[in-house]
Structures are given as structure tokens and as C-alpha cells.
Structure 1
Amino acid sequence: MALQRTPASLLPLLLTLLGLVLLQPSYGQSYMYQRFLRQHVDADETGGDDGYCNVMMQRRKMTSRQCKGFNTFIHEDLGNILSICSTTNIQCKNGQMNCHEGVVRVTDCRQTGSSRAPNCRYRARASTRRVVIACDGNPEVPVHFDR
């Protein structure tokens, strides 16, 4: 009896894995996509305070050699972030035309002036605001947080 229920219980897992495979970027963008996810996506949290920034910046390896001066964490599920890549192209800060904008919940982490690596300290600011991300690949995935 248990064996008959096992395949049905695996169906949601298999569908999720299939979806992830279909959303995988091409080999060339894989590094940049994974880096974007590591540095900017935290769908499970709401963020918002200095302690959050201090922990996440260290956990996501942005304080090892030197303190990253500013970073934004997006608090949306991956589907919402990926959907930004399907909006109209706009110009990026570097002049490229592969940027897209959307409104998301974020925590901005700004380094305090007196902190030094590896004990970097940050001030947090939580908000819902417009962000601009660069997307690349087929299908397009986020590869850079522009602003």
C-alpha cells in the first residue's frame, strides 16, 4: 500500500525539479546567475534591521577580504524575480539595453564607515521599491543588480 502512494507523493517534487531544469541558464550565464542569487535573493526572510545585514553579508561571503560597501537583498520568491526579466528592456547604468525594472520588497545594507573586514558592520533600510536588474540568456535570468 505504501509503495502505491510513493509515486504520487513524488509528483510535486518531480514537477518542481523539471521546472528548475527548464529555468536553468545556459552554461555561460550560470556563474553570474548563481552569483546574483547568492548576493541578492533572500525569499525566506523579510530582513529589515542592522543585525540581519551583518549576518547575511557575512553568510553570503561579502565580508571576507573586504567589506562590500552596499548590497540589496530582494525578499520575493524566485518566480517573481524571474518575471522582472520579461518586462520591457531599459538602459542599464553601463549603457547596455538588457535591464528590466520591477517593484519588490528589499533590504538595503550600507557599510558603516568605521567597520573593517572581516568584522564588517551594516545599517539596514527595508522598503518596497523599484529595482533595476540586468538579465541574460534564453530564457532570460537575472545576472546583475543594476540599481
Structure 2
Amino acid sequence: MALKCLVLFSLLVVLVLVGAQPPAAQNFHQRHMDTNPRDLGHNYCNQMMRNRNLLNRNFNTFVHETFAVVQAVCREPRIRCRNGENNCHRSRQNMMITDCNLTGLHPNPTYNTNRHQASIIIACVGNPPVPVHFDGSG
């Protein structure tokens, strides 16, 4: 019973935190966060891209860390983003991520799954800052 209450409380906290974020942060969470990935092997990206309604994207990265760990990257020194903005931050530590690359086109898009560890680069806005864009890894 206690474990069930703890799980429900944790879910409520996550929902409140996600609901309290600006829309761009919610979008980041939807597109890039998967804190508890199921082991779907080479089918992971096909499932996730479909489940998250991201089939219009040629490439996407999912981060397998807690949102708090990813949000902490926003406190790292600022670096220039690929679009020229100066609100990106690189993680000091490598994180477990999965890159999904489009390999087959419509009507049934298929994606290559590449799970590995790398630093992440994210754009952050707000006070306190929250991630709003995944800029790259490496």
C-alpha cells in the first residue's frame, strides 16, 4: 500500500511540474524525455516516434535521465546554439540517450535506434530556467 501511495504521489508531482512549465518546456518534455525507457531493442524508435506523434521528424533524440537532471544542465555556462542564440548549455556529464534516424518513408516511417551515452546541449529559458530545445549531443 505504501509503495502504491509513493508511486501515485510521484506521478502527481511529475504532472504538477510538467503542468507548471511554459508550453515550450512541455513540448521539450514530450519530444525528448523518456526517463524510464522500455527495452524494445531496435524497435524502440519506431514505437516512441509513433507514440509521441513525431513521425513528421527525420531525427529525434530521447534523453533517459530524470527531468531534474536535465533541467540542472540549464545552470551550466552558456554556449552558442546552432541557430546563433546564446542560451544553450552543455552537460558536464554524459547522459544515456537514444537517437532516432528516419530510414524509411511514408506511409509507414521507420527509424534506426542508436542508444548511447553523450553530453547533451539544450537551450533554456525562464527563471528558473527550463529546457525548451534539444540542440545536439556529443
2:50 corresponds to 1:58: yes
1:24: Cα distance to partner?
A: 3.2
The 1:84–1:50 alpha-carbon spacing in structure 2 relative to 1, beyond 3 Å, is same
Alignment partner, residue 81 of structure 2? 92
Alignment partner, residue 3 of structure 1? none
Alignment partner, residue 100 of structure 2? 109
Amino acid at match of 1:78: F
* Separation of aligned partners in 2, 1:13 and 1:117: 41
2:118 corresponds to 1:146: no
* Separation of aligned partners in 2, 1:138 and 1:47: 36
2:121 corresponds to 1:125: no
| Unpaired stretches in structure 1, ≥5 consecutive residues | 1-8
Larger gyration radius, structure 1 or structure 2: 1
TM-score normalised by structure 2 residue count: 0.81
Between Structure 1 and Structure 2, the one with more strand by share is 2
TM-score normalised by structure 1 residue count: 0.76
The 1:80–1:129 alpha-carbon spacing in structure 2 relative to 1, beyond 3 Å, is same
Alignment partner, residue 126 of structure 2? 137
Structure with the greater relative contact order (CA < 8 A, sep ≥ 6): 1 or 2?
1
Number of aligned residue pairs: 128
Q: Deviations over 1:38-77 (max 9, x none)?
A: 11000011667320000000000011xx3x1110000001
Show the 5 A alignment for 1:29-44. 30-44=22-36
Q: CA RMSD in A?
A: 2.7
Percent identity (aligned):
35
Alignment partner, residue 4 of structure 1? none
| Unpaired stretches in structure 2, ≥5 consecutive residues | none
